[in-house]
Amino acid sequence: MDAANGDAWPYPRPDSPPILSPVEAEHTLDVWLVPKFSMLTLTCLLEPLRVANRFGRDLFAWRLLSADGEEVVASNGVRIDVDASLDSVSDTAQLMVVASYEPEATITSWERAVLRRVAAHGGWLGGVDTAPFILARSGVLEGYSVAMHWESVPAFRHEFPQLDVSQARYELDDLRLTGTGGAASIDMMLTWIERAYGPALANAIGRQLIHKRARDEPVLTQGHRSPHLPRTVVRALAIMEANVSPTLAIPEVCRIVGQSQRQLARLFMAHFGETPKQCYLGMRLDEAHRILADSRCWVSQAAESTGFTHLAHFSRAYRQRFGESPSVTAERGSQ
């Protein structure tokens, strides 16, 4: 899609915008729904396209696809009828993959071959939430920055260390678009539309959706973030996150942030009810859990990736935090 100028667009039609067929629209987006996909993500993908069609031109159509052409069940249990099966995708399609829980559970080599075929013919591919796992395992993300849901980032980095994982809400290139999913998909699609038709249309769509656009905001990956945290606590958390393996001793963390060990412990207890050491341990265990839940690695690999040198210690701490052994999580993640 070629970018246009920023001239004003007409006031939106008062009636409902048309639901267009591919032959009527300037652009068609094929949306492949993977079982247990996020309904919120799907809605946020399609609503900007629907609203765009209110502004006097027949711009966008979309087709919902499943692997076999049968209905798909979303993560909230809602059953969605689709328009066609994945084998109807053309070589030069604009194909968006929408996934969430267990993104690889139903994916076969044939479906990965479809993605490779589209990529080989210069087609446009996108993936949101956990769908970048499907794209990466198909070998179509080499050379591109990747954005995805923050919970899955540790496992993705472990499995694909050669790929550049972004902290942005989405990454848009000429032939690839990846994003974190959820409500951030509205901003992602507005940027996509802006590239095609200019900022005036994108901003007008945002106003119709009662949505204030967020630009260039990093994804917050931990539950500890708060604007009310003391600066030294924020810095200590950032240092811990950046040093999951190998780890730093707490006195070294204190030295870097310029805070005494006693004072930092007091601040952590006041805000989190944990000592810095306990918080650091929990952070590493949470990352190990994400790696085991979302990738196909051994328990020993997850332990090593999160700074544990003794497997028995790792297993005890893991079971205490999550109520199951790491091997149970790993088995579930490999399915």
DSSP state of 79: E
Architecture per CATH, domain 27-208, reads as 3-Layer(aba) Sandwich (3.40)
Burial of residue 98 (number of CB atoms within 10 Å: 0-12, 13-18, 19+):
buried
DSSP 3-state of 257: helix
Could you read off the pLDDT of 116-171 as tens digits, one per residue?
A: 999 999 999 999 999 999 999 999 999 999 999 888 888 898 889 999 999 899 99
| Least confident segment among 1-10, 64-73, 302-311 | 1-10
Confidence of residue 1 (pLDDT cuts 50, 70, 90): very low
Q: What residue type is assigned to position 326 of the chain?
A: P
CATH of 231-333, one of 3.30.465.10, 1.20.120.530, 2.40.30.110, 1.10.10.60: 1.10.10.60
Q: Is the dihedral of CA 72, 74, 75, 77 positive or negative?
A: negative
CA-nearest of 35, 23, 20, 27 to 4 is: 27
Distance CA(274)–CA(146), nearest Å, equals: 34
Examine the pLDDT at 44 and tell me if it is beyond 70: yes
Residue type, 15: D
**Percent of residues, the chain, with pLDDT higher than 70:** 90
Please give the pLDDT value at position 185.
96
Q: pLDDT digits over 57-99, tens only?
A: 889 999 999 999 999 999 999 999 999 999 999 999 999 999 9
Domain assignments of the chain as residue spans, ordered by start: 27-208, 231-333
Q: What pLDDT shows up at residue 3? A: 42
Inter-residue contact 62 to 295 (CB < 8 Å): no
The CA-CA-CA angle for residues 312, 313, 316, to 5°, reads 85
The pLDDT tens digits of the residues spanning 179-232 come to: 999 999 999 999 999 998 888 899 889 988 988 877 655 444 444 445 568 888
Phi-psi domain of 36 (left: phi exceeds 0; alpha: psi -120 through 50; beta: other): left
Segment (H or E) for 125: strand 124-128
Q: How far is CA 148 from CA 122, 166, 185, 194, 218, in A?
A: 23, 8, 11, 21, 12
Separation CA 11–CA 51 (nearest Å): 12
Q: Spell out where 154-239 has E strands.
A: 164-165, 170-172, 176-179
